[in-house]
A and B are shown apart, each in its own frame.
Chain A
């Protein structure tokens, strides 16, 4: 089942690439159909999850001489992201309904397959393979269909990500070879490597390995000071690309930190938790201030992501159950809300032909539906209670407060929270409020269909956390029990 979610998109991309159609009329409908079916499939897996540990496991030999296998499974941490990936593919296809290049839709499907693979892989090499494959379609999505400075943004995205991921490859190899002394065999299997965690922690190289993994994930997350690729990539990417970037690509960072840095190097994580906490704090505060200063609407949303992902890192650095829980919740919420924000900005920019905040006024008056949804998304972005973002941020901060190393940081993080609220409300005032300046066509049914699932989920997950909390618990609790047993 999991393999279907990974490989059906690849096959669908191949079909689109081979089927000649000029206006992409077939390609977009086919991509929509495939991604919709896969979303239903992922939801079926979601609701059939037994509640704890890994499920839906599949394992096949792949490279026996290296001890690498095709090993995929999903737990409560990975499942929400798999569903999110499938859902955001549907949204992205709908958001790109006017595109006339079938290659674009093929690349979106490639992204979907590779991202699902990232979240499902339980073999470190397999994980790396998917982690790296993601870069190629994303590079082309930004570089071909982006805005004016797309080439620069795409190269910057590629190089930043690569430096992190190649060092992670070195760390993966180092981990497996060092652990082989303890395990008696060479293996890249996550579950088998976990048995060598105490041994790995005793090695002098543990810190190097930890940072080899952490660097890749901190770049992806991104955390200050490794975040400078993000404003460019987000701003220059086409709408669908921004949705993917914000919705899922950044999540690979937080997911990786929890899965690998916490799961394989818990002692190092607790040793460096103050460092990570400070990085998180700077991301939260600095991200909020930078958001305040933006004049480009898309760039504003991009910078607010730095702030949002700071809470994720803070929750992880706390190493408490509630903090980790909040980190995952925040990632899901951010995927929905920031995805929605980028969708709205994209649709808005298509109409106004500018992303300049100063050039927009009275959008709500001229487009009540678009303006209303945008308003809701901005409120979600500032963490309004009742919307999904609040629960994530609140739990992350609560978790941080419970841990000794990160307790003092919470007070400063609140400052960042306050500034971001100001930035978001000020954006509402500048862009949405005011007199109507010009008439624009409001959302058409396709655009509304793209926004609808995100709006619904942002509200539902804000009001009914029971739809997500038990799943996250099912992933976090066994992991924490394992970690606590070692520390």
Chain B
């Protein structure tokens, strides 16, 4: 029942925010505060909902995995709403529906992960995707924003179409949209048509997860969006699709060799090429975009291994990426709000001008690179351990070697910020609410980097329940 409360809270909370937006006088602070309160409430409820074992209306699973998705997504939304305080006075573009779409984006993710039939899965995915289309295009007076959002929209629609076509084939092959019926059909030996549909839907989900070769929209969408919106783009849909993919595989398709293999190859391509392309970037948003592709590759490696440990490693990866990736974008937002462009050139000498911001940003970048003691390292470690457990030693060696590339480009950013002399002198005044947000995220990065056991066992428990162990 608590899961139902969470869903309703998100649905009507978003509606309330959308309606209140034009009426609210000091729009951003009030709305951001309300949004943060809403997400905090959702996070709290989803912790309680962890113990639930029920199916709502025969189509929505109320269990620990849904609760985990709600918790992570609410955390993502909470941080983004907080980060949005930095440039509140110029609540860019519209009348403040930003927050409503944030809430609906989270709602879509929760529905997608909890779905028990293909239709709800698709609806959840689309709701989450439409919210991010709007957020990507929100900065509508800038040409890059419109361009990036347009590319995102067109390619996103294409991927949705492929996904839908795949689902249609699955329906044709198995005669049902219900996960249980599909699973029963697959258990009797997968019908070829349905298997084809499954692979097509993997392509569609690969788009959403930004896996190579379906990644083309990512750099432009991230570059066009404001960093806060990009932070949401980089975390929420990934959490939803990452967890949703595991749920879809387990609930609907069972252990299918072909799909695991296909996902493994996508993973290899993503972390190899994502890291290679990131080497050449001088725009920080594009650098983070390509590095996201690489990170999603590591995530997909965990998903491809599967099993309670493999999925849990992917889940922990999402947690670590939510914190560190988010922090990196918020650092860009803080720097942009202080007038520093998001390029390596622009970040030169940042340490001299804004030492606090630089150190907090460095923690985020080091965590993304995978320096031990920070959450990003343990996330990689769990995924690598999953690969070793599955005996995928070639993939393991490739994965560890590509992390060296990651170190190289993240350290390039740090070298610019800490080692170079600034082009202009004078201390920057960094927005205090962003600085405190970055401080919280750095603390979480350290906390999960030193003591992962609690979070990991919770995530593992969620997947154990999913797998029926």
Residues in chain A within 8 A of chain B (CB atoms): 17, 61-66, 125, 128-130, 132-133, 135-136, 139-140, 143-144, 151, 155, 158-159, 162-163, 166-167, 169-170, 173-174, 176-177, 205
Q: How far is the CB of A206 from chain B (nearest CB, A)?
A: 13
B396 touches A170 (CB 8 A): yes
The CA-CA distance from A130 to B371 in the complex, in Å, is 10
A66 touches B382 (CB 8 A): yes
B400 at the interface (CB under 8 A from A): yes
B377 at the interface (CB under 8 A from A): yes
Other-chain residue from A17, A139, A166 in contact with B400 (beta carbon distance below 8 A): A166
The CA-CA distance from A87 to B400 in the complex, in Å, is 35
Q: Which interface class (under 10, 10 to 19, 20 to 34, 35 or more) fits B?
A: 35 or more
Q: How far is the CB of A128 from chain B (nearest CB, A)?
A: 7
Using A170-B393, A170-B397, A177-B388 as known contacts, say yes or no to A65 and B372 having CB atoms under 8 A apart. no
Using A65-B456, A166-B404 as known contacts, say yes or no to A140 and B418 having CB atoms under 8 A apart. yes
In the assembled complex, which residues on chain B have CB atoms less than 8 Å from the CB atom of A17? 359
A174 touches B371 (CB 8 A): no
In the assembled complex, which residues on chain B have CB atoms less than 8 Å from the CB atom of A169? 381, 384, 400
**A-B interface contact total, Cβ < 8 Å:** 86
The CA-CA distance from A173 to B403 in the complex, in Å, is 16
Using A136-B371, A158-B407 as known contacts, say yes or no to A64 and B457 having CB atoms under 8 A apart. yes
Other-chain residue from A65, A135, A151, A177 in contact with B457 (beta carbon distance below 8 A): A65
B309 at the interface (CB under 8 A from A): yes
Q: How far is the CB of A474 from chain B (nearest CB, A)?
A: 30
B280 at the interface (CB under 8 A from A): no
B456 touches A63 (CB 8 A): yes
Can you give 15 A-B contacts (C-beta < 8 A)? A64-B453, A65-B453, A66-B382, A129-B377, A132-B377, A135-B371, A144-B419, A151-B419, A162-B403, A170-B400, A173-B387, A174-B396, A177-B388, A177-B391, A205-B393
In the assembled complex, which residues on chain B have CB atoms less than 8 Å from the CB atom of A144? 418-419
Using A65-B309, A173-B388 as known contacts, say yes or no to A159 and B408 having CB atoms under 8 A apart. yes
Q: Nearest residue in A to B460 (C-beta to C-beta)?
A: A65
B436 at the interface (CB under 8 A from A): no
B373 at the interface (CB under 8 A from A): yes
Give the interface SS of chain A, mostly helix, strand, loop or mixed: helix
Q: How far is the CB of A67 from chain B (nearest CB, A)?
A: 10
Other-chain residue from B309, B401, B411, B453 in contact with A167 (beta carbon distance below 8 A): B401
A170 touches B384 (CB 8 A): yes
In the assembled complex, which residues on chain B have CB atoms less than 8 Å from the CB atom of A139? 411
Q: Nearest residue in A to B452 (C-beta to C-beta)?
A: A63
Q: How far is the CB of B49 from chain A (nearest CB, A)?
A: 23
Q: Which 7 A-B pairs have the closest CB atoms?
A: A129-B372, A173-B388, A166-B400, A177-B388, A162-B404, A132-B372, A170-B400
B2 at the interface (CB under 8 A from A): no
B396 touches A173 (CB 8 A): yes
Other-chain residue from A61, A135, A136 in contact with B453 (beta carbon distance below 8 A): A61
In the assembled complex, which residues on chain A have CB atoms less than 8 Å from the CB atom of B460? 65
CB proximity to A under 8 Å, residues B356-371: 359, 366, 371
In the assembled complex, which residues on chain A have CB atoms less than 8 Å from the CB atom of B366? 136
In the assembled complex, which residues on chain B have CB atoms less than 8 Å from the CB atom of A64? 453, 457
In the assembled complex, which residues on chain A have CB atoms less than 8 Å from the CB atom of B382? 66
B372 touches A151 (CB 8 A): no
B276 at the interface (CB under 8 A from A): no
B385 touches A66 (CB 8 A): yes
Give the interface SS of chain B, mostly helix, strand, loop or mixed: helix
Q: How far is the CB of B409 from chain A (nearest CB, A)?
A: 11
Q: How far is the CB of A390 from chain B (nearest CB, A)?
A: 38
In the assembled complex, which residues on chain A have CB atoms less than 8 Å from the CB atom of B408? 155, 159
B389 at the interface (CB under 8 A from A): yes
B415 at the interface (CB under 8 A from A): yes
Other-chain residue from A61, A136, A166, A205 in contact with B401 (beta carbon distance below 8 A): A166
The CA-CA distance from A170 to B396 in the complex, in Å, is 7
The CA-CA distance from A444 to B385 in the complex, in Å, is 53
Q: How far is the CB of A160 from chain B (nearest CB, A)?
A: 10
Most buried by A among B309, B400, B456: B400
A159 touches B396 (CB 8 A): no
CB proximity to A under 8 Å, residues B406-464: 407-408, 411, 415, 418-419, 451-453, 456-457, 460
In the assembled complex, which residues on chain B have CB atoms less than 8 Å from the CB atom of A65? 309, 312, 453, 456-457, 460
The CA-CA distance from A166 to B451 in the complex, in Å, is 22
B388 touches A167 (CB 8 A): no
A132 touches B371 (CB 8 A): yes
The CA-CA distance from A182 to B92 in the complex, in Å, is 62
Other-chain residue from B377, B385, B415 in contact with A173 (beta carbon distance below 8 A): B385
B411 touches A158 (CB 8 A): yes
In the assembled complex, which residues on chain A have CB atoms less than 8 Å from the CB atom of B385? 66, 173, 177
Q: Nearest residue in A to B309 (C-beta to C-beta)?
A: A65
Q: Nearest residue in B to A175 (C-beta to C-beta)?
A: B388
A133 touches B371 (CB 8 A): yes
Q: Nearest residue in B to A134 (C-beta to C-beta)?
A: B372
In the assembled complex, which residues on chain A have CB atoms less than 8 Å from the CB atom of B393? 170, 174, 205
Q: Nearest residue in A to B373 (C-beta to C-beta)?
A: A133
In the assembled complex, which residues on chain A have CB atoms less than 8 Å from the CB atom of B419? 143-144, 151
A163 touches B401 (CB 8 A): yes
B404 touches A159 (CB 8 A): yes
B397 touches A167 (CB 8 A): yes
Most buried by B among A17, A133, A166: A166
In the assembled complex, which residues on chain B have CB atoms less than 8 Å from the CB atom of A163? 401, 404
Q: How far is the CB of B383 from chain A (nearest CB, A)?
A: 11
B415 touches A143 (CB 8 A): yes
In the assembled complex, which residues on chain A have CB atoms less than 8 Å from the CB atom of B457? 64-65
Q: How far is the CB of B129 from chain A (nearest CB, A)?
A: 33
A166 touches B372 (CB 8 A): no
Using A66-B382, A143-B415, A144-B418 as known contacts, say yes or no to A162 and B389 having CB atoms under 8 A apart. no
In the assembled complex, which residues on chain A have CB atoms less than 8 Å from the CB atom of B377? 129, 132
In the assembled complex, which residues on chain B have CB atoms less than 8 Å from the CB atom of A174? 388, 393, 396
CB proximity to A under 8 Å, residues B235-273: none
Q: Nearest residue in B to A63 (C-beta to C-beta)?
A: B453
Most buried by A among B378, B404, B418: B404
The CA-CA distance from A107 to B425 in the complex, in Å, is 25
Q: Nearest residue in B to A128 (C-beta to C-beta)?
A: B372
In the assembled complex, which residues on chain B have CB atoms less than 8 Å from the CB atom of A158? 407, 411
A133 touches B372 (CB 8 A): yes
The CA-CA distance from A163 to B403 in the complex, in Å, is 9
Most buried by B among A17, A129, A130: A129
In the assembled complex, which residues on chain B have CB atoms less than 8 Å from the CB atom of A66? 381-382, 385
Q: Nearest residue in B to A17 (C-beta to C-beta)?
A: B359
In the assembled complex, which residues on chain B have CB atoms less than 8 Å from the CB atom of A143? 415, 418-419
B373 touches A129 (CB 8 A): yes
In the assembled complex, which residues on chain B have CB atoms less than 8 Å from the CB atom of A162? 403-404, 407
The CA-CA distance from A169 to B377 in the complex, in Å, is 11
Q: Nearest residue in A to B451 (C-beta to C-beta)?
A: A62
Q: Nearest residue in B to A212 (C-beta to C-beta)?
A: B397
Q: How far is the CB of A213 from chain B (nearest CB, A)?
A: 14
The CA-CA distance from A173 to B391 in the complex, in Å, is 10
CB proximity to A under 8 Å, residues B189-246: none
The CA-CA distance from A169 to B418 in the complex, in Å, is 29
In the assembled complex, which residues on chain A have CB atoms less than 8 Å from the CB atom of B371? 132-133, 135-136
B372 touches A167 (CB 8 A): no
